[in-house]
Structure 1
């Protein structure tokens, strides 16, 4: 199964511009995703879908996503607003006031979480949301499961953006998934950077943004002393592809810009490709079956 991910779209950052920069970047990524082969089986849109939570931006987002020939499953980030999101996307389930739902995708199960606390930049995960997640995990303890949420529950070292690991919501979330080995990975956004980290028995994959990216700077930051460091950078619009191979979730990150090709699969490269594949036991078994 091939799972595409986009995140931190921030439509409406420039609300009065019909040729909005963030919309152009989103369209660029969607053009790449819809043209690739094999095509993704589904697309996760992991929060900060719009910049100001307004209905007009959600409608523009819905229009942009309508080009996708595969299902699109969104979750909410700190720039989103539940009421207007639900007005624009009434088909997305709401449970106990939170946009939380499950997606059964054949080989794997996705549990989509709502980590939004309106008016706060950081994440949230309360007992109501935890009760829902506990129930879903208890229902299918032998089903491979991926958790999808906007806010990563981990400190990634970019001090002005990182989650404080001592926040109560992080501990509650950690306790909720503890003892559930069927959780094979956690897919997040929020940080506008590609990041992977092993965390409490599973792996967190964090997708870069379709909007501009956050600069990589791991130096401490003093809020009282601006130091002119780069914070937001105009790197290309990006996305993730997560491949579920039946055992592990393998995450790849790429951007939508053109890539300069230095080698191609032609007659010159064919011997290398054949030699590499011949080393694989699975390839050797396939050759034996073909010969028989």
Structure 2
């Protein structure tokens, strides 16, 4: 099973621009994913789908995804607005007012949870959402399960984007996942960078963004002193590919740009590749 992930699209950052920079970056990413061989079985778009939560931007997002050859499933981030999203994507499975649902038709069960609290930059996960997640996980305790959400539940070291590990929503989510050996990982976005760590005995993989990434700056930040540090940089748009090999979930990250190829699989390297493959047991 091959799952593509894109995140933090922020479509509509330039609402009046027909050639919007973030739309160009999104289109380049979708072109790269569409050209993959083998193709993804599905794509996750894990929040901050648009920048201002407006209906017009969600319509442009739907237009951008219209011709994709694989299904798209959504999570919501702090820039999203639920009722505007639902107006444009009425098929989205809102449960008790939250975008939380399962994707059950593959070898890995995907459980999408809603960490949006409108008006708040950081994450949220209330008692109602926690009750739904416990019930959902209890329904299939032996199936390999991947948790999908926008906000990472971990402190990543980039001070202005950090999640405080003492936040109640983090503890509430941890209580839902603790002791569940079938949870093979948690994928998220929000930080605009590729980050991998272990939290509560679960591997957390943060996808890089299609919108411009956050600068890698690990110094503490003082809100009283504007020190001129870089915040956003113009590196290429990027995506993740999560491959379930039947035993483990393997996460790859790549940029949606042309790569300079230094070696091809041609007759000159055929013998070397053959010898490498022969080392594997039959």
* TM-score, scaled to structure 2: 0.99
The 5-angstrom pairing of residues 243-282 of structure 1 reads: 243-281=243-281
Equivalent in the alignment of 2:187: 187
Within the alignment, does 1:40 sit opposite 2:40 as a pair?
A: yes
> In 2, Cα distance between the equivalents of 1:178 and 1:133?
12
Following the alignment from structure 1 to structure 2, what is the Cα–Cα distance between the partners of residues 10 and 201? 31
Moved more, 103-112 or 9-18: 103-112
Aligned to 2:147: 147
Question: Displacement of 1:185 after TM fit?
Answer: 0.5
1:214 is paired with a residue of what secondary structure? coil
The 2-side partners of 1:106 and 1:77 are apart by 25
Higher Cα radius of gyration: 1
CA distance, structure 1, for counterparts of residue 134 and residue 9 of structure 2: 30
Q: Give the whole-Å Cα distance in 2 for the aligned partners of 1:4 and 1:54.
A: 25
> Who is 2:93 aligned against?
93
Which residue does the alignment assign to 2:132? 132
Task: Name the CA distance, whole Å, in 2 between partners of 1:272 and 1:194.
Answer: 32
Partner of 2:205: 205
How many angstroms does 1:275 deviate by? 1.4
- Report the secondary structure of 2:260's partner residue: coil
Secondary structure at the counterpart of residue 173 of structure 1: helix
SS in 2 for 1:268: helix
Shift of 1:246: 1.1
CA distance in 1: counterparts of 2:126 and 2:32, whole angstroms: 37
Shift of 1:108: 1.0
Tell me how far apart the structure 2 counterparts of residues 152 and 136 of structure 1 sit (CA, whole Å).
20
User: Alpha-carbon deviation of 1:105?
Assistant: 2.9
CA RMSD of aligned residues (A): 0.7
> What does residue 289 of structure 1 align with?
none
- Say if 2:76 is the partner of 1:83: no
Structure 2 partner of 1:288: none
Superimposed CA distance per residue, residues 180-236 of structure 1 (whole angstroms, 9 cap, x where no aligned partner): 111100010000000111111110110000000000011111111111111100000
Distance (Å, rounded) in 2 between the aligned partners of 1:106 and 1:9: 26
> Secondary structure, in 3 states, of the residue corresponding to 2:94?
coil
Q: Measure, in 1, the Cα distance between the counterparts of 2:19 and 2:132.
A: 40
Over residues 60-90 of structure 1, what are the superposed CA-to-partner deviations in whole Å (9 max), with x where a residue is unaligned? 0000011211110001000000000011111
**CA shift digits 1:124-154 (9 cap, x unpaired):** 0000000000000000000110000000000
Map 1:21-36 → 2, pairs under 5 A: 21-36=21-36
Secondary structure of the structure 2 residue equivalent to 1:43 = strand
Secondary structure at the aligned position of 1:124 is classed as coil
| TM-score, normalised relative to structure 1 | 0.96
Deviates more, 1:71-80 or 1:266-275: 266-275
Secondary structure at 2:268's aligned position in 1?
A: coil
Equivalent in the alignment of 1:102: 102
**Secondary structure of the structure 2 residue equivalent to 1:185:** strand
Alignment of 1:164-183 (within 5 A): 164-183=164-183
User: Which 5+ residue runs of structure 2 have no aligned equivalent?
Assistant: none
In the alignment, structure 1 residue 218 sits paired with structure 2 residue 239: no
Q: After TM superposition, what 4+ stretches of structure 1 lie above 3 angstroms from structure 2?
A: none
